[in-house]
Amino acid sequence: MSLYLDNAATTPVRPEVLEAMTPYLTRVFGNPSSHHEVGEAAASALDDARRRVAAVLGMRPGDVLFTSGGTESNNAAIKGIVLGSGRKHLVTTAIEHESVLASADYLHRLHGAEVTHAPVDDTGTLTPDALAAVLRDDTALVSVGYANNEIGTVQDAAALAAVAHARGVPLHLDAVQAAGWLPLSGTGADAVTIAGHKLGAPKGTGILAVRGRLPFEPLLHGGGQERGRRSGTPDVAGAVGIATALTIAETERAEDAARVAALRDAFIARVLAVVPGARLTGHPHRRLPGTASFVFPGTNGETVLLELERRGIVSSSGSACAAGSDEASHVLLTVGLAHDDARTAVRFTLPHGLRHSLDAVADAVADAVSAVGSRG
């Protein structure tokens, strides 16, 4: 059986999550907007899920919206807050997920918004000074990834929030990769995005938390569900599932993150030692506990991945949204890698609960890179 090291792309559904969801896929099937016993049972479960999510985020239950995933949540946050504000300037970075960059482009093309990409350094870090330098009186929103989905670099969210708030600007934090690994409360964020399938909940489940004081123009209009911010009959089972997954992950987070980070560091050190020319991408220390990303100059990343899969190891070249593309990663190009080197990227993202050494994986990487290089 293959060793699956592509957990940033998706994770298996946890048994506890399936168990929690099952009643709302079977006997408790009511529409939570219906005013009868069957509907009220569903509404009670939805309210409980909202409270549990809010407790993890350090926000109010009324701030929490249940969505179809990270892409919808990022679209809703960026478009909703900018259009609701009446301002025309958005700040983000060039290393964000495509759902952030495409939402910014939409606002520019169709609504005349001006988009500024704040500069990041060669580790993918946005400093508070760099953010402060691009804020303006008409800035509607700062949208930043808490942790990068390709290279794993973690931003100092609280420091960025402080800079934004000093200018009266809200901060949207894309926490899709960070949830379950990093603290989600105390960041200062005004809006937070989470995707369930990164946490052991099903694909198609997501969260957008937006502080109620912010003006917000919804993407979806209709019956006024979710306090008018996302119309449509809520997925009660999905809400219960993602709330359960997030709660479990938060309970385990501190111990899990420390253990996995130590195993990650040992793995990084061994890869750099046994693979000639290998280079780590992202910040050497301020990175997600489960992310180790490399470039192997002189190879092709996709070919290395095929060699690894022959050796029973499943990993990726970067974002699953761009899997199979022969284009170099926009993230790696932004942090200064040459195009040819960026195309050699391989990302290993470790599972929660990992307890064993990855020395054998590092040795397999060395074999795979050597096999690819010998054909060159």
Structure tokens at 108: 């520019």
If one counts every other C-beta atom within 10 angstroms of the C-beta of residue 262, the result is 11
**C-alpha 281, offset from chain centre:** 18
Question: What is the C-alpha to C-alpha distance for residues 182 and 178, in angstroms, rounded to an integer?
Answer: 5
The first and second tokens of residue 102, run together, are 């495409």
Structural tokens at position 227: 């306090």
Strand order of the β-sheet with 64-67 is 64-67, 206-210, 191-195, 171-174, 139-145, 89-93, 114-118
Q: Which of 254, 269, 321, 323 is catalytic?
A: 321
Pairwise CA distance, residues 133 & 89, whole Å: 14
**Neighbouring residues of 43: CB distance < 8 A, sequence distance ≥ 6:** 30, 32, 33
137 catalytically annotated: no
Catalytic residue set = 321
